Amino acid sequence: MTRRFSTALLWASAVLVCQPCAAQPAIDELRIIAPAAPGGGWDQTARAMQQVLQRTGLVRIAPVENVPGAAGTIGLARFIGNEVGHRDVVMVSGLIMLGGIVTHQSPVTLHDVTPLARLTGEYEVIAVPAASPFRTLRDLLDAFKAKPESISWGGGSAGGSDQILAGLVADAVGVSPSRVNYIAFSGGGESLAAILGSQVSLGVNGLAEFAPQIEAGTLRGLAISSAERVPGVDVPTLREQGIAIDFENWRSLVAPPGLAARDRARLEALVAAMVASPPWRETLARYRWLDRYLPGEGFTRFAVTEEMRVRDVLRKFTVGQESVRSAPEPYPWLVIAGLVITGALLVRQIARSSSVTPEASRPPRAPVVLLAVASALHLLLLERAGFVIAAALLFWLAARAFDPRHPLRDGLFATAVSVSSYVLFARVLHLSLPAGVLGRWL
Amino acid sequence: MQTIDLLRDGFASALSWGHLLWALVGVTLGTVVGVLPGIGPALTVALLLPITFNLEPTSAFIMFGGIYYGAMYGGSTTSILLNTPGETASIATAIDGYAMARQGRGASALTTAAIGSFVAGTLATIALTFFSPLLAAVALRFGPAEYFALSVLAFTTVSSLLGESLARGLFSLFLGLALGLIGIDQLTGDARFAFGIPQLLDGIDVLILVIGLFAVGETFFQAWRHGRDEPEVVALERFTGMSREDWRRSWRPWLRGTAIGFPLGVLPVGGSVIPTFLSYSVEKRLSPRPEEFGHGAIEGVAGPEAANNAAAAGVLVPLLTLGLPSSATAAVMLAAFEQYGLQPGPLLFSSRPDLVWTLIASLYIGNTMLLVLNLPLAGVWARVMLVPRSILFGIILVLASLGTYSLNGSMLDVVLLFATGAVGCVMRVHDVPLVPAVLGLILGPLAELQFRRALAISEGDATVFLTRPLCAVLLAISAIALVLPAVLKRRAA
């Protein structure tokens, strides 16, 4: 296939994406940041928003950027660092980010951003494999109270909504959360597999993940964290079984700090229009998300009470565990010892062999030095001057390091490659690359 | 033979000229985007998903099938031609693939990769069609103890990658293990060795190490050597397809790669690294010419590529039968299926057989389309080796930087990229193998995490590793894999 043809295909697809755009979108481009890897709940929320906003024509184009890591706190830190005052960017956030802020002692918190609205909520379910001896929540909690550590709780990452609920339940039945044998898995798939395979005693997860399994009879739902029974889901609530906990894994939307009041009102109006649109209703139904739209002051107050609740329960998890935690794990020190020993051996071998290498075979230094300079310049310029300039310079200097005879040809190639890759990735595929000083023209 | 009837219905709704065009578009886009270093299958699928939003379900699924297999295959091209694996699944391919390309046999390497991918993809899709429920049930028997044993087995493959000097190979391995310590301890949520830098909390991305050591490191190393030795001149062999010899040496690795890749792909943990390296190691052990490995043995390309594609099909087994997304790519696909009202889970096959069988038929079509697209291109791509090196290295550096920045949009990642590039150059200068470092970074955290999980579940009772039969068997195989070659060598001597 020729390059021209594949470019044509990309263009054709790009046109397809924009097909249903309404005549006059309210906002031309709105970036949505998902502070998680593709596939998770925040990513799903961001991509669902992308689809609804574009389909309803509220926004012409809404690229999703993934900034994964540390329960969203890495995305939060970057959002606060890079986007101050920007009016066309929002970030998905929620309960799990509160947990991440506490667990990872994040220096920035949700107080540092502009809250827009709470969007959705998802109930949590406690379930056991179909073959489990535990028929009811009472069976399970009796065994748990008798010997807490013998019951292993499988769920999502440490500090996340699943662990928070586990801690709340333990606390409510009078067992210290620090005695919960919580097995953290990364991602819904991994923990679901462990529960289905009876590798752990019970699982805690969102209703959407468990519902198909409960429906199929592969899992038995023992309790749901809603205040009242959910229609169509045959699982009793925690409340009707004597545990007074209402709990939801809520997700919300925030804007950068330092936003002008006018810009904030504009984004709030956009969110209000989005949640009222029929495509958003369909999305909620499809993902079994609850409509928990709560804008403005109400959301801010809600976030503060939730933060206190999360801090409280996560602190209890570590009470009495300090002694266990500060005990050194053997594995890291074994690895470091291995690295030091093999490193010493290596250095000795190299020292021996290089003493016999004749001086004459020393290579000329110029090319590698030029390449090092090119790399350093690239790193300096990437975010300051933008991708195109930094990449073209890197290309040109690297090419000169290998063959200095064609400066003009190399310059042309450097420009062509960096401009075309920028246009393809940043403009057609909407990956985030630093636009820099040339951004306006490309 | 109800399955066959259902599959025929699936094909009936999937096969039309319009749909075939979507398959072609999907395969092309998947390959084009998947080729770029740093843009792995998950991101490729996520980026291209919006394109399918406006299509009716059948066309969209056909395109998925194409994008999925295209993205999985795309990485191998740059691995072979530029020694730049774009994702972890194609690292094993780079070892012998790049050696072949430098000898002018790039087209043969690309062809064996394409045919191997097709054979493995097709066989694995057939297995997916007929044995999904059974396989999924077996996969669930794998708990943390078994995953620990599996990662131990994967570690034994390192012994076939250490190279000539034990000290050099082990240093490389420990370097990777040490880098793997950085980041949040997943079981407790505590930060380890992050030195207060928030971007390090999630650890060092394997892709950065791979692209840094291989692509950037190779460029630095060539610059270091520049002017010292005669530059290597690549003379392309006249390419007329794979030679009879190539075929003879490839078909068994394809089949063995499929046999290794598919079941391991079905397992909800592990990804495609373990199957590709297991396949590489098995081929080296079985080969009558193990000394050729690392210097352009075609088996070292054929096996891992087949394993990679078979694993990609295997990932769909737990996704479709249990609703288990076992990789980031699968999670993205799950979200995509939900757009069409498809609720993957235990009831999927009975509730929406029409869509499921259309999807499965699409996988066959996407896989075939991939072969149709790539076979004629192998000879064309191979000419990349004739591009002046100055231009080629410029392109590699720019793409490496682009791919790395787009991973997380983090400047620190790009700094790490060039730093690991410098480390990779120094390692090459002193003949330290690179692959053990990558395996250490991938397998170290996995082994440690599963080991501690298993112990937490058993309340500290270490005998679980021996009392669980599957786990004990895997550990026994590992022990044999380590000891047997030494015994055989002694007997031969």
Lookup result for tokens 């039309």 = B16
Structure tokens at A429: 């595929």
Confidence (pLDDT) at A18: 44
A115 neighbors A259 (Cβ within 8 angstroms) = no
Q: What is the DSSP track for A71-113?
A: GGHHHHHHHHHH-TT-SSEEEEEEHHHHHHHHHTT-SS-GGGS
Q: Hey, how many other C-beta atoms are within 10 angstroms of the C-beta on B467?
A: 11
Assess whether A129 and A238 both reside in one domain: yes
Domain range for A434? 366-438
Residue A223's DSSP bridge partners are A126
Confidence (pLDDT) at A21: 41
B24 neighbors B66 (Cβ within 8 angstroms) = yes
Q: Averaged over A122-140, what is the pLDDT?
A: 93
Query: CA angle A155-A217-B359, nearest 5°?
Result: 85
CA–CA gap between residue B280 and residue B306 (Å, rounded)? 11
Residue B344 has φ and ψ, to the nearest 5°, of -55, 140
Confidence (pLDDT) at B303: 94
pLDDT tier for residue B218 given thresholds of 50, 70 and 90: confident
Domain range for B463? 2-492
Q: Which residues of B touch A64 (CB under 8 A)?
A: 46
CA–CA gap between residue A139 and residue A137 (Å, rounded)? 5
* Interface contact B189-A158, CB threshold 8 A: yes
pLDDT digits (tens, 9 = 90+) for A316-349: 877 555 444 444 578 888 999 999 999 999 888 8
CA–CA gap between residue A430 and residue A34 (Å, rounded)? 14
pTM greater than 0.90: no
Q: Averaged over A134-155, what is the pLDDT?
A: 92
* Interface contact B457-A432, CB threshold 8 A: no
Q: Which residues contact B363 (CB under 8 A, 6 or more apart)?
A: B65, B68, B69, B121, B125, B128, B313, B316
Residue A63 has φ and ψ, to the nearest 5°, of -70, 140
Residue A350 lies in a domain: no
Structure tokens at B199: 């971007």
Assess whether A242 and A255 both reside in one domain: no
First to last CA, chain B: 55
Within B323-352, residue ranges assigned H as helices are 328-339, 348-351
Compute CA distances B237 → B76, B105, B232, B247, B389, whole Å: 20, 6, 15, 17, 19
Helix, strand and coil percent figures for chain A, each rounded to 5: 55, 15, 30
First to last CA, chain A: 26
3-class state of residue A118 by DSSP: strand
Assess whether A54 and A130 both reside in one domain: no
Residue A32 lies in a domain: yes
Assess whether A198 and A269 both reside in one domain: no
Lookup result for tokens 């794998």 = B142
Three-class DSSP labels, A343-401: HHHHHHHHHHHHCCCCHHHCCCCHHHHHHHHHHHHHHHHCCCCCHHHHHHHHHHHHHHH
Assess whether A116 and A259 both reside in one domain: yes
Q: Report the residue from A78, A331, A371 with minimal CB separation from B448.
A: A331
A256 neighbors A89 (Cβ within 8 angstroms) = yes
Q: Report the residue from B143, B324, B405 with minimal CB separation from A199.
A: B143
pLDDT digits (tens, 9 = 90+) for B117-146: 999 999 999 998 888 878 888 888 888 898
CATH of the domain at A215: 3.40.190.10
Structure tokens at A49: 């928003």
Residue A78 lies in a domain: yes
Structure tokens at A297: 């002051």
Q: Averaged over B153-172, what is the pLDDT?
A: 82
CA–CA gap between residue A273 and residue B386 (Å, rounded)? 56
CA–CA gap between residue B374 and residue A218 (Å, rounded)? 42
Q: Which residues of A touch B177 (CB under 8 A)?
A: 335, 338-339
The pairs formed by B231-234 with CB atoms below 8 angstroms and a separation of 24 or more are B231/B389, B232/B102, B234/B101, B234/B102, B234/B103, B234/B104, B234/B385, B234/B386
Of A248, A281, A303, which closes a domain? A248
* Interface contact A403-B388, CB threshold 8 A: yes
pLDDT digits (tens, 9 = 90+) for B310-358: 998 888 888 888 777 767 777 777 777 776 766 666 777 777 777 788 8
Of A214, A248, A282, which closes a domain? A248
Assess whether A230 and A375 both reside in one domain: no
Structure tokens at B253: 């690795």
Of A225, A248, A271, which closes a domain? A248
Confidence (pLDDT) at A392: 94
Pairing mode, if any, of strands A89-94 and A248-255? antiparallel
pLDDT digits (tens, 9 = 90+) for B62-114: 787 788 888 878 778 888 888 877 777 888 898 899 889 888 888 889 999 99
* Cβ neighbourhood burial of B244 (10 Å; 0-12, 13-18, 19+): exposed
Q: Which residues of B touch A398 (CB under 8 A)?
A: 219, 390, 393-394, 397
Assess whether A40 and A152 both reside in one domain: no
Assess whether A237 and A312 both reside in one domain: no
**C-alpha neighbours within 13 Å on the C-beta side of residue B444:** 27
Does residue B332 sit at the A interface (CB-CB below 8 Å)? yes
3-class state of residue A219 by DSSP: strand
Does residue B342 sit at the A interface (CB-CB below 8 Å)? no
Assess whether A115 and A254 both reside in one domain: yes
Q: Which residues of B touch A349 (CB under 8 A)?
A: 165, 167-168
Residue A291's DSSP bridge partners are A120
How many domains does chain B divide into?
1
Chain A residue with the nearest C-alpha to that of B170: A342
| Residues of B (286-325) whose Cβ lies below 8 Å from A | 318, 322-325
Q: Which residues contact B418 (CB under 8 A, 6 or more apart)?
A: A375, A378, A379, B212, B216
**C-alpha neighbours within 13 Å on the C-beta side of residue A131:** 6
Residue A433 lies in a domain: yes
How many domains does chain A divide into?
3
pLDDT tier for residue A25 given thresholds of 50, 70 and 90: low
Residue A61 has pLDDT above 60, yes or no: yes
> Which of B243, B240, B257 is CA-nearest to residue B119?
B257
ipTM of the complex: 0.81
Does residue B266 sit at the A interface (CB-CB below 8 Å)? no
B193 neighbors B182 (Cβ within 8 angstroms) = yes
Residue A341 lies in a domain: no
3-class state of residue B454 by DSSP: helix
Residue A66 lies in a domain: yes
Confidence (pLDDT) at B400: 87
CB pairs under 8 A between A and B: 320
Assess whether A113 and A258 both reside in one domain: yes
Residue A13 has pLDDT above 80, yes or no: no
| Residues of B (177-236) whose Cβ lies below 8 Å from A | 177-178, 180-181, 184, 186-193, 198-199, 201-202, 219-220, 222-228
Q: What is the DSSP track for A145-160?
A: HH-GGGSEEEESSTTS
Q: Report the residue from A6, A12, A216 with minimal CB separation from B346.
A: A216
Lookup result for tokens 């059948």 = B58
Assess whether A115 and A257 both reside in one domain: yes
Compute chain B's Rg from CA coordinates.
22
Does residue B432 sit at the A interface (CB-CB below 8 Å)? yes
Chain B residue with the nearest C-alpha to that of A219: B346
Residue A256 lies in a domain: yes
Q: Which residues of A touch B399 (CB under 8 A)?
A: 421
Assess whether A213 and A236 both reside in one domain: yes
Q: Report the residue from A39, A193, A402 with minimal CB separation from B390.
A: A402
pLDDT digits (tens, 9 = 90+) for B167-189: 888 999 999 999 988 887 777 77
Q: Report the residue from B28, B141, B418 with minimal CB separation from A9.
A: B28
Residue A396 lies in a domain: yes
CATH of the domain at A277: 3.40.190.150
Of the spans B286-295, B346-355, B483-492, which averages the highest pLDDT?
B286-295
- The CA distance from A13 to the nearest CA of chain B, in Å, is 6
